[in-house]
Amino acid sequence: MWRSPVRGPWLTAVFGAALLVALPVVAVTGLLDYIAYGPRFGQAIPSEVGWLHLPWFDWPTKPAWLFGLTQGLHVIVGLTIIPLVLAKLWSVMPRLFAWPPARSSAQLLERLSLLFLVGGIVFEIATGVLNIQYDYIFGFSFYTAHYFGAWVFIAGFLVHVSLKLPRMVRSLGSRSMRTELRTSRAATRPEPPDTDGLVSENPAPPTLSRRGVLALVGGGSLLVAVLSAGQSIGGIIRTTSLLLPRGRSDGSGPNDFQINKTASAAAIDPADAGPDWRLTLRGGHREVTLDRATLVAMPQHSARLSIACVEGWSTTQTWTGIPLAALAEHVGVPVPRSAFVQSFQRNGGFGQAMLQPNQILNPDALLALRVNGVDLSLDHGYPARIIVPALPGVHNTKWVRSIDFRS
């Protein structure tokens, strides 16, 4: 397998160029998602990142699909590159384990950057894929590991690109893509021997043309993309999302869309969601408790908004409820600096969220009572849940008990 005659700087450079475009997309969208979680409130995970903290800004609420886009790109491109990463590793494989590891200090730096690069990407892919498939099976925090793993990868990536970019460009120019795409297996010849030793010294007869290798890898990536995209795009192609089995939909009728954590998983006592349920609103000096009938009698607003979850799916529904701005006004805080939302769930970690000013004042930011024209189901957060444009799914708190508006 290391004797394949298609191995060589050109093929490695083609894989490298594709990854050079795709990997920054995955890295940047991942870091943006971290910012979307609201590190300034200390609610992004990990919250303590030392000098690795990112510049913060208020995550926008417009366009409403922004988080769905960054999250969707991160997950889908992240999965799509897996065949490409494997192909790139294959194309350089024996060199990766060259011994002695370094003959000079420049080489030592290069080898060290490779360790960061390869170790980082394998770790990020493994933790990312596992997080999609099974929630939180790790003995450590997925978010913390994935965040620090990302920086290890980014460091390795930057050094690697700065060392290899000129060689990549030169190698890309050494053969013509158009000619390769027309060259059959029988006509496939090895590249001339190279200083990096990527070309086999003793090439075997070709079993695949370069065109065939590119089709195999490209086809593999395309297949992964198609099988993942449905999770974010929805509609009919949602059913094709084989790689993301969290595409389950456990509701019925208008409530028939994906449920991340069911009421029973969150240990919701149905009695807490019954007629005795009250919403507590706190403002600067005021505290108000409202029952659901009172909330239903207040002016209602509807908006089509998505829930996009970092675990790799999103869903868009029509929500109806009371604008959060109206609730803030109700307790005398028309210009809130933040809102702290708490759920009455008894189990699990996602029972609270802090919202920024624009996430409260956007006219479509709601305390939703209904979805698609009917009351929320218990699994979707009855009696009331938060739904805010472009807010990460996890902060759309279900089974709300109280909201503190702070000025």
Complex with ligand MTE: residue 4 or 255, whichever CB lies closer: 255
Strand 279-282: give its sheet, edge to edge.
287-290, 279-282, 400-406, 338-343, 352-355
Tokens 């990302």 — which residue? 150
Q: Quick one: which of 296, 266, 286 has its CA closest to 397? A: 266
Q: Of ligand MTE, Mo ion, none, which one sits near residue 266, judging by CB under 5 to 8 A according to partner kind?
A: ligand MTE
How many residues lie near ligand MTE (CB under 6 A)?
19
Is-contact 231 313, C-beta < 8 A?
Answer: yes
Q: What DSSP string describes 17-75? A: HHHHHHHHHHHHHHHHHHHHT-GGGT-SSSS--GGGPPPP-PPP--STTHHHHHHHHHH
User: Which is closer to Mo ion, CB of 175 or CB of 261?
Assistant: 261
User: Per the structure block, which two tokens stand in for 81?
Assistant: 């590159």
| 188 binds ligand MTE per the rule CB under 6 A | no
CB of 259 to ligand MTE, least distance (A): 4
Instruction: Kindly tell me which residue out of 200, 213, 393, 405 binds Mo ion, with binding defined by CB under 5 A.
Output: 393
Pick between residue 292 and residue 398 the one whose CB is nearest to ligand MTE: 398
271 CB-near residues (< 8 Å, 6+ apart): none
The verdict on 309 binding Mo ion (CB under 5 A) reads: yes
Residue 85 vs 305, nearer CB to ligand MTE: 305
Q: Is 380 in the site for ligand MTE (CB under 6 A)?
A: yes
Binders in 351-370 for ligand MTE, by CB under 6 A: 351
> Considering the rule CB under 6 A, would residue 273 count as an interface residue with ligand MTE?
no
For residue 386, which phi and psi values (nearest 5 degrees)?
A: -85, 140
* Separation CA 371–CA 303 (nearest Å): 10
- Per-residue contact flags (x/-) with Mo ion for residues 170 to 199, judged by CB under 5 A: ------------------------------
In the complex, the residues that contact ligand MTE under the rule CB under 6 A are 258-261, 266, 307, 309, 343, 345, 348, 350-351, 380, 393-394, 396-399
In the complex, the residues that contact Mo ion under the rule CB under 5 A are 309, 393-394
